[in-house]
Amino acid sequence: MDRQATKQKYLMNLKARRKFWLEIHLWLGLALGLFLSIFGITGSILVFYPEIEELLNPGMLVVAQPLDAHAYRPLSEIFKSGSAVMPPQAKHTFATYPRNSEAAFILRYALPLASGVTEQWQVAVNPYTAEVTGKQLGVASDSILPKTLIGFVFELHYALLLDEDPDYWVVGIIGAFSVISVLTGLILWWPFTGKWLQAVTIKRKASIERLNFDLHKTFGFYSTVILIPVLFSGVYMNVPEHVVPVIECNLSLLV
């Protein structure tokens, strides 16, 4: 009798804990679902951003490899050509090496204006001839919206088009809560009753409600191994100054 009562008490406690985590998982999902959809779609686009940019600006970003020349011009010539088409106060900030034999060398510049506005420009240079093939304004500090499609997708993905101060913080916090949401889903998935086969499979000939539940539960479990690293890396890229100390502290405890 005592054994039966103990088992019943255990199941009641298990049910209460499950209800608690279910509430957290539910509200996190409702609050973060739209943002995760935005990050997923924009992230998928950014995976192919070089190809998309070349498709949209072929005259600027696509070059023809000469039949009699296979070597690039010296980097000093390429950088000199790029700087020549920008005002003297422009500061070179980044460079992207050609991804294949038909891609241009891309140089990025920050251009401070007398009005206090800073513009971000990119200059494309033919790596075989060191000739500038075009330049393009990416974004200005006095405008929320970037001037290019990929720039818009990039800012939406990393900063949700917010102002400069809170942008990466907001996305970093959303990413952190998304990690918590995935972990709570894993807690809810965990088969405390020992029915492991049921936990990792979809019941055949089930009702629509049960099928939807099984799809969410099963695919949620299998995708956890991908979601956790992806979400954590997103948090790191947005607020590395706060993630790195935490990692280093934990590593020091393990050593």
Q: Is residue 5 part of a domain?
A: no
Query: In sequence order, what are the residues at sequence separation of 6 or more whose Cβ sits closer than 8 angstroms to the Cβ of residue 93?
Result: 108, 109, 110, 120
Q: Do 195 and 242 belong together in one domain?
A: yes
Q: Which domain holds residue 33?
A: 15-47+163-246
The answer to whether residues 181 and 227 touch, using CB atoms and an 8 Å cutoff, is no
Our count of domains for the chain comes to: 2
Angle of the 149-159 helix axis to the 2-47 helix axis, nearest 10 = 160
Estimate to the nearest angstrom the gap between the alpha carbon of 208 and the chain centroid.
33
Per-residue confidence band for 69, with pLDDT thresholds at 50, 70 and 90: low
Beta bridge partners of 136: 122
Q: How far apart, in whole angstroms, are the C-alpha atoms of residue 145 and residue 138? A: 10
Q: Do 41 and 56 belong together in one domain?
A: no
The answer to whether residues 121 and 140 touch, using CB atoms and an 8 Å cutoff, is no
pLDDT of residue 66: 87
- What would the pLDDT profile of 129-174 be if each residue is shown by its tens digit? 999 999 999 999 888 889 999 999 998 998 888 865 566 788 889 9
Instruction: Using the predicted structure, report yes or no on whether residue 122 has a pLDDT greater than 90.
Output: yes
Q: Is residue 173 part of a domain?
A: yes
Q: Do 73 and 141 belong together in one domain?
A: yes
Q: Do 90 and 42 belong together in one domain?
A: no
Q: Do 170 and 214 belong together in one domain?
A: yes
Q: Do 65 and 95 belong together in one domain?
A: yes
pLDDT of residue 224: 92
Query: Which position has the higher pLDDT, 143 or 69?
Result: 143
Q: Is residue 254 part of a domain?
A: no
What are the φ/ψ torsions at residue 138 (nearest 5 degrees)? -90, -55
**Which of 138, 159, 180 is at the close of a domain?**
159
Q: Is residue 119 part of a domain?
A: yes
Q: Is residue 19 part of a domain?
A: yes
% residues pLDDT > 90 (the chain): 58
- β-pairing, 105-112 vs 118-125, is antiparallel
Q: Is residue 4 part of a domain?
A: no
Q: Is residue 253 part of a domain?
A: no
**Which of 159, 177, 193 is at the close of a domain?**
159
pLDDT of residue 255: 60
Q: How does the average pLDDT of the chain come out, rounded?
A: 89
Please state the pTM of the whole predicted model: 0.80
Q: Do 181 and 207 belong together in one domain?
A: yes
**Which of 122, 141, 159 is at the close of a domain?**
159
Q: How far apart, in whole angstroms, are the C-alpha atoms of residue 29 and residue 181? A: 7
Q: Is residue 252 part of a domain?
A: no
List Cα–Cα distances, 30 to 44, 92, 136, 160, 241, in angstroms.
22, 43, 39, 18, 29
Structure-block tokens of residue 110: 């920050």
- What would the pLDDT profile of 8-17 be if each residue is shown by its tens digit? 777 788 788 8
